[in-house]
Homo-oligomer: A and B are copies of this chain.
């Protein structure tokens, strides 16, 4: 596993809880001390698995290759930054490792996401006989598997798909993001995009929004965003007439976001700046990306857990032609309490809902259930064993048949 942040922490806890499947395990990241601290935290909770740790700069293919050649992992679980997907895939190809990640590649200098860069690796993984599993977090990940499950069991034809992601948690801070603030702000400040009648429709950032009711939570203002899983789902389910992604934001969050943009702190270009050296030996002219510096000043998402109340609710609202030839609706979702996640892993629910599916995806691979040379989105695999594990591993799901989708 590459990465030692919030999601990686959850995945690591889940991996040691499934030691019958995961017999050998290494955690590597830019700072080995962070990996060691994670192993300590795991052992303190009473787990005894022997876990190796290593230092690796995931931007550097040669370093990755050296590590993979040495440790010889069967599967590399990439929980590093989305900027690093391609270097890690390159190293996997070079060293004969299978690959799994939770978020699609983004170039660092462009706030923009799409699968094209990673899909371009399809033939190479196929020819190498290696499996690459893309986007195996919650969204993308579980939302795609929910859709695959609906298609397999409940619909002859999925026509309308709305993925709805609500975080009704309260971390008691004026402002904080739930995962890497740099990635979060890049995602939200880009234009909205959805699929309708065979083409993409673009919106201004956060232009379309409406109140949606979330189970056990109530109504929350939900904003149409572009989200990567839509891109593969409309290809894999060509009967889809319209596919959209919605995420809830509070007014306080949006106010902060607006100001962060207005004052220039969401900029991803470099600003030259003269600053004193930390060792006191003078000053240096450095290049600073404002959004990256902001990340250094904002609360660390990994530190949000202890006081985080409320829950998340993420699911798929689907309308289409059922197996009986009639129109049906279907809502499949999971609710996850931040406090439960924190008690189990020391991390809040947003990290938990991403880290658990990453582990389950790795389990599907290790059990031989999800193996298929090439580069695949998760809906291309059998959803049933994955759905079964969700219920066992802490993310139980619920179904509402023929309810009002509100959409």
Q: Interface residues, chain A, CB within 8 Å of chain B?
A: 174-175, 255-256, 259-260, 262-265, 267, 270-273, 275-279, 284-288, 290, 293-294, 296-298
Contact = CB atoms under 8 A, between A and B. Distances in A.
B267 A277 contact: no
A147 B89 CA distance: 73
Given A273-B288, A275-B286, 15 more contacts: A263-B265, A263-B297, A265-B297, A271-B296, A272-B278, A273-B293, A273-B296, A275-B275, A277-B286, A278-B284, A284-B286, A288-B288, A290-B293, A290-B297, A293-B293
Number of copies: 2
A279 B296 CA distance: 23
Q: Is the interface of A mostly helix, strand, loop or mixed?
A: mixed
Contacts of A260: 259, 263
Contacts of A265: 263, 265, 294, 297
Contacts of A286: 275-278, 284, 286
A278 B287 CA distance: 5
10 contacts: A175-B263, A264-B298, A265-B297, A273-B275, A273-B288, A275-B275, A276-B287, A277-B285, A277-B286, A278-B284
Contacts of A290: 293, 297
Contacts of A277: 284-287
A267 B287 CA distance: 20
B259 A297 contact: no
Contacts of A270: 276
Contacts of A278: 272, 284-287
Given A259-B259, A263-B256, A272-B278, A293 B288 contact: yes
Contacts of A255: 255, 259
> Max chain B CB contacts within 10 Å: which of A267, A277, A297?
A297
A275 B285 CA distance: 9
